[in-house]
């Protein structure tokens, strides 16, 4: 049985007070609408159509890679009218599921349940029961508990307003029947809108048995109208992600202070201290520890690694047992071998650093191939850029670079070479030798400090 998904996203989002369309605001680093598109994919939608609002061209252009049809609803005439705009894109599917671009946390399992439970009938409805149902459409049932219709809060009588079962807005309907019902929906109501919810009364009038299902949590069906609700759902989502990690064997010191914007995979016994932000795809090996205030983006941290406080690691790989930070920055293509140490105020870009090498303080290493067991003194800089081109530095196994050295690339430092502190190295330094490039120290015999002339 093929399923089509229509996602309504034509709302103005006035209360966001934003130049960005509401459904493009990020939750866990991805646009709200992206979450809904993912849910549609997860339920195996054969076709997806997003209804976006007038002037909202930024929506399809931002999500141009999504496999869906885009339909502009030029005038916002109501949810029923909006779904109608999407029906031409639904040809060929048997049933249509309606979702909302500003309801990002809907669970595919809930949708699957709704779709399965209503498989034998033409209309399924996701409802929930709220202590305070104000504002929502109410589900009116007959004495036997069968759904009769849904009535919008604004159109409801006092008796109907006392009903606590409300419409989440999410429905699944037989496509052809839906087309027929929508054709019969009018706008004779308080808001002068074509209500999607009116199809419920039309269906029961046609003798259709309306089946309802409920979500596991209210957050699943919570819509976002302003930045306060956005922040609330963000925290809820982050909490759940953290709980998922903890259940699988990760220690999170404070699950209220972690943000996963992408995917984080941890092997067992990883410890994550507070204020970690992960972006893109991050993998952390067994027993690794991440100190407070770190940003990890698209990187791989090996087993047993210790990342100390305040590090930024992006597009990098850190080998098993290495120690990084505090205050280190690993940039794209930094590749640290086993047991390396990269210390404070060190920046590494596009460089391989082999096993056991140490770059402990105040250093920039760029476009470098470094062997094993190298020791880089404090304040060493690879001068990799001449203003036009980038050049490589090669440092052999076991080399020792004295503090405050400038390695002017392209340059090779041989294996076991020692470079005297304060050198500016512009030519290759041979293996196993001491190379110095600095002014010789002299002491001037009998020199005396000038003294001020006494005033007359």
Q: Among all residues, which ones are annotated catalytic?
A: 361
| Contacts (Cβ under 8 Å, ≥6 apart) of 272 | 245, 250, 251, 252, 253, 258, 266, 290
Does residue 100 interact with ligand UD1 by CB under 6 A? yes
Whole-number Cα distances in Å, 333 to 126, 282, 336, 350, 356:
48, 14, 9, 4, 18
Q: What are the backbone angles phi and psi of residue 85, rounded to the nearest 5°? A: -60, -30
Q: Between 95 and 138, whose beta carbon lies closer to ligand UD1? A: 138
Binding residue (CB under 6 A) for ligand UD1 from 70, 181, 195, 364: 195
CB of 162 to ligand UD1, least distance (A): 16
CB of 40 to ligand UD1, least distance (A): 15
Q: Are 298 and 279 in contact (CB under 8 A)?
A: yes
CB of 28 to ligand UD1, least distance (A): 19
Does residue 76 interact with ligand UD1 by CB under 6 A? yes
| Contacts (Cβ under 8 Å, ≥6 apart) of 64 | none
Residue nearest to ligand UD1 (CB): 137
Ordered DSSP codes for 349-404: ESEEE-TT-EEEEEEEEESEEE-TT-EE-TT-EEE-B-SS-B--EEE-TT-EE-TT
Other beta carbons within 10 Å of 450: 5
Binding residue (CB under 6 A) for ligand UD1 from 3, 10, 199, 395: 10
Q: Between 114 and 276, whose beta carbon lies closer to ligand UD1? A: 114
Does residue 79 interact with ligand UD1 by CB under 6 A? yes
Does residue 84 interact with ligand UD1 by CB under 6 A? no
CB of 25 to ligand UD1, least distance (A): 13
Q: In this chain, which stretch among 31-39, 165-173, 325-333, 379-387 interacts with ligand UD1, using CB under 6 A?
A: 165-173
Beta bridge partners of 72: 52
Q: In this chain, which stretch among 88-96, 172-180, 190-198, 298-306 interacts with ligand UD1, using CB under 6 A?
A: 190-198
- Which pair of structure tokens corresponds to residue 414? 């041989």
Residue 236: Cβ-neighbour burial (10 angstroms; 0-12, 13-18, 19+): middle
CB of 171 to ligand UD1, least distance (A): 9
Binding residue (CB under 6 A) for ligand UD1 from 196, 294, 311, 340: 196
DSSP annotation of 429 reads B
Q: Between 16 and 374, whose beta carbon lies closer to ligand UD1? A: 16
Distance CA 451, CA 21 (A): 72
Q: Between 137 and 201, whose beta carbon lies closer to ligand UD1? A: 137
Footprint of ligand UD1 on 124-143 (CB under 6 A): 136-137
Q: Which helix (H) or strand (E) holds 300?
A: strand 300-301
- Residue closest to 409 by CA, chosen among 428, 437, 434, 431: 428
Q: Supply the Cα-derived Rg of the chain in whole angstroms.
A: 32
- Residue closest to 182 by CA, chosen among 173, 192, 170, 191: 173
Distance CA 147, CA 211 (A): 8
CB of 175 to ligand UD1, least distance (A): 18
Q: Between 195 and 364, whose beta carbon lies closer to ligand UD1? A: 195
Footprint of ligand UD1 on 329-388 (CB under 6 A): none
CB of 188 to ligand UD1, least distance (A): 13
Distance CA 220, CA 213 (A): 13
Q: In this chain, which stretch among 191-199, 243-251, 259-267, 320-328 interacts with ligand UD1, using CB under 6 A?
A: 191-199
CB of 98 to ligand UD1, least distance (A): 9
| Contacts (Cβ under 8 Å, ≥6 apart) of 341 | 322, 323, 324, 357, 358, 359, 360
Q: Between 10 and 425, whose beta carbon lies closer to ligand UD1? A: 10
Q: What is the 3-state secondary structure (H, E, C) of 130-143?
A: CCCCCCCCEEEECC
Binding residue (CB under 6 A) for ligand UD1 from 26, 223, 373, 410: 223
Footprint of ligand UD1 on 255-274 (CB under 6 A): none
- Residue closest to 70 by CA, chosen among 133, 146, 6: 6
Binding residue (CB under 6 A) for ligand UD1 from 6, 49, 68, 73: 73
Does residue 99 interact with ligand UD1 by CB under 6 A? no
How many residues of this chain interact with ligand UD1, rule: CB under 6 A?
A: 26
Q: Between 38 and 155, whose beta carbon lies closer to ligand UD1? A: 155
Q: Between 54 and 248, whose beta carbon lies closer to ligand UD1? A: 54
Q: Which residues bind ligand UD1 (CB under 6 A)?
A: 8-11, 51, 73, 76-79, 81-82, 100, 102, 136-137, 150, 152, 166-169, 195-197, 223
């Amino acid at each position: 049985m093929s399923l089509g998904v229509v996602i309504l996203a034509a709302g103005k989002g006035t209360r966001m007070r934003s130049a960005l369309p509401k459904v493009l605001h990020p939750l866990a680093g991805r646009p709200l609408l992206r979450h809904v598109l993912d849910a549609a994919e997860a339920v195996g939608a054969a076709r997806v159509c997003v209804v976006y609002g007038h002037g909202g061209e930024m929506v399809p252009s931002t999500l141009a890679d999504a496999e869906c049809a885009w339909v502009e609803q030029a005038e916002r005439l109501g949810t029923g009218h909006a779904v109608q705009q999407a029906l031409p894109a639904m040809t060929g599917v048997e049933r249509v599921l309606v979702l909302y671009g500003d309801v990002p946390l809907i669970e595919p399992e809930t949708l699957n349940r709704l779709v399965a439970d209503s498989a034998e009938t033409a209309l399924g409805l996701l409802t929930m029961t709220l202590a305070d149902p104000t504002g929502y459409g109410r589900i009116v049932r007959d004495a036997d508990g069968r759904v009769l219709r849904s009535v919008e809060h604004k159109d409801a009588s006092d008796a109907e307003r006392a009903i606590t079962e409300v419409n989440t807005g999410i429905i699944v309907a037989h496509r052809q029947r839906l087309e027929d019902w929508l054709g019969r929906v009018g706008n004779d109501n308080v808001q002068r809108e074509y209500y999607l919810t009116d199809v419920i009364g039309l269906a029961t009038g046609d003798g259709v048995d309306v089946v309802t299902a409920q979500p596991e949590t209210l957050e699943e069906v919570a819509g976002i109208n302003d930045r306060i609700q956005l922040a609330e759902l963000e925290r809820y989502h982050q909490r759940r992600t953290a709980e998922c990690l903890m259940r699988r064997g990760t220690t999170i010191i404070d699950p209220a202070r972690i943000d996963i914007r992408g995917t984080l995979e941890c092997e067992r016994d990883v410890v994550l201290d507070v204020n970690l932000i992960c972006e893109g795809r991050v993998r952390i090996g067994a027993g690794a520890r991440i100190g407070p205030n770190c940003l990890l983006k698209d990187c791989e941290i090996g087993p047993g690694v210790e990342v100390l406080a305040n590090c930024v690691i992006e597009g990098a790989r850190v080998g098993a047992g290495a120690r990084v930070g505090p205050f280190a920055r690993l940039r794209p293509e930094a590749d640290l071998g086993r047991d390396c140490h990269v210390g404070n105020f060190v920046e590494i870009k596009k460089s391989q650093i082999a096993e056991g090498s140490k770059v402990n303080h105040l250093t920039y290493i760029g476009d470098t191939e470094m062997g094993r067991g190298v020791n880089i003194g404090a304040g060493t800089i690879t001068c990799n850029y001449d203003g036009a081109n980038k050049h490589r530095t090669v440092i052999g196994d076991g080399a020792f670079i004295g503090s405050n050295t400038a390695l002017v690339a392209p340059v090779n430092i041989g294996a076991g070479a020692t470079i005297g502190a304060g050198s500016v190295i512009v030519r290759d330094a041979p293996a196993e030798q001491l190379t110095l490039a600095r002014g010789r120290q002299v002491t001037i015999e009998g020199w005396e400090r000038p003294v001020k002339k006494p005033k007359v």
